[in-house]
Every structure is written in C-alpha cells, then in structure tokens.
Amino acid sequence: MESAFITLRRVEKDYDSGAGTVRALREVDLEIKQGEFVAIVGTSGSGKSTLMNILGCLDRPTRGVYELGGFDVGTRGSDARAILRNRLIGFIFQGFNLLPRTTALENVELPLVYRGVSARERRKWANEALDTVGLGDRVHHTPNQLSGGQQLASRSRAPS
C-alpha cells in the first residue's frame, strides 16, 4: 500500500484574540497520496484558509501532527518550513503573484533560482513548462501582455 505524502493527525489551530481563543481547526485527520487530487470545501469561516496555510508550511498547527513527505512540519521553525515548501510543494496563487516587469520565462524560472538550479537547466525546464501549456511563443512577454488564463498557466506549470 502506497504511503501518504501528506498526513495530518488530530491537527488543531487556535488563535488568540481580544475576546478569547478562536479554535479555527479541531482534530483534523487527513491523508493525501502523491499525485492525488483533493478539493477543500466548506462554508465561510470553516477553516479552509487556515488548513491551507498549514498544508503550505506557512503556519504550524497548535496541536497535532503534520507530516509532509516524511518530515514532521509542526516541529520545524519558519526557515526549515520554507526549505520544505521550496523542495516539496508548489503554489498556484489566486492573484498569480507574477513579477510585473519580468518575462513569463523569468517568472517560471524564479523558483528554480531559489533551489540553486543552474541557469542552463532553469532555462531548459522553464521553456519546456511554457511549451507544455501553449505559451512557448510568449516566453518574452511580461504579465501585462498575457491574458489572465495565460498568467495562470505560467504559474501552474512553474517547476517548484
């Protein structure tokens, strides 16, 4: 049986506010295998964003265990979580988060710079990714020269 890439066991998240403690997540159990697609749905205020921040290594649970690729994320500090985030997961932001004065090719290459990938390999992988989503002819265009769908495609295929 294939082991889970993401495992949450009894994960909880509390926030302190002036009015007291807000329990944003309560005893969440979740397993996601490599390559599996999962949708997180719920009403406003149900903890979706809190859960996504934990899964994305942007925040830690107050209680419980979060393992990502065999690493216990909950016990790691912010720098160690940033390394895991960079090496093991990628983000597709709702607002795209593309650098406005940077070409599509350079935007796709950026995560690979942080990983220490050589310029030659970065360029090769980024060109392949843009070709895959039909933007091979738009590599030198800046975000304002791309449609919203093209901007999304340039982020969703960015090697992470």
Q: Is residue 114 in some structural domain?
A: yes
Predicted pLDDT at 94:
57
The phi, psi pair for 159, rounded to 5°, reads -60, 135
Chain segment 100-133, per-residue pLDDT in tens: 888 989 988 988 888 889 999 999 999 998 988 8
Tell whether 73 and 120 lie within a shared domain: no
* Residue listed under structure tokens 């997540």: 25
What's the domain count of the chain?
A: 2
Which CATH number does the domain housing residue 60 bear? Answer: 3.40.50.300
Q: How far apart are the C-alpha atoms of 133 and 143, rounded to whole Å?
A: 15
Position 98 in a domain: no
pLDDT band at 82 (very low <50, low <70, confident <90, very high): confident
Residue-averaged pLDDT of the chain: 86
Mean pLDDT of 44-72: 92
State the pLDDT confidence band at 68, using cuts at 50, 70 and 90. very high
145 plus 82 within the same structural domain: no
Tokens of residue 27, six digits:
């005893």
75 with 142, same domain: the answer is no
Domain range for 83 is 6-88
How far apart (Å, rounded) are the C-alpha atoms in residues 31 and 21?
A: 27
